């Protein structure tokens, strides 16, 4: 578990740095793609129901987004943890789609 969290820390650090320094120049209709949010949602969708890796990833990603932004510290953490809770609730009550079990994200998380 410690190894996964360390990999997530490095992954979200570089992804947040890439998003806030490079992707700012490629805005479409003054919107910047949020790859950190997409990554957190994909991790939560791919994890097992009993795992808490989604909460760790939301906290880590939100922390790095807060450090690199001008908002209050903790704002992005709360938003991402709320999204993780919503996705976990939806995942509990919705039928899984076939074909989503085998992907590249499984290689990272396993």
pLDDT attached to residue 10: 93
Dihedral sign, Cα of residue 59, residue 61, residue 64, residue 68: negative
Confidence at 83, pLDDT banded by 50, 70, 90? very high
Contact 59, 40 (CB under 8 A): no
Please write the tens of the pLDDT for every residue from 23-43.
878 888 888 888 999 999 999
Residue 72: its H or E element: none
Angle, CA of 37, 42 and 45, to the nearest 5°: 125
Distance CA 60, CA 55 (A): 9
């Amino acid at each position: 578990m410690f190894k996964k969290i360390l990999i997530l820390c490095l992954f979200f650090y570089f992804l947040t740095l890439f998003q806030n320094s490079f992707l700012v120049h490629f805005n479409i209709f003054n919107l910047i793609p949020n790859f950190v949010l997409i990554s957190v949602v994909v991790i939560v969708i791919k994890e097992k129901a009993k795992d808490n890796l989604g909460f760790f990833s939301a906290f880590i990603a939100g922390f790095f987004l807060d450090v690199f932004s001008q908002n209050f510290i903790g704002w992005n953490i709360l938003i991402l943890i709320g999204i993780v809770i919503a996705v976990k609730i939806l995942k509990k009550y919705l039928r899984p789609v076939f074909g989503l079990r085998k992907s590249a994200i499984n290689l990272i998380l396993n």
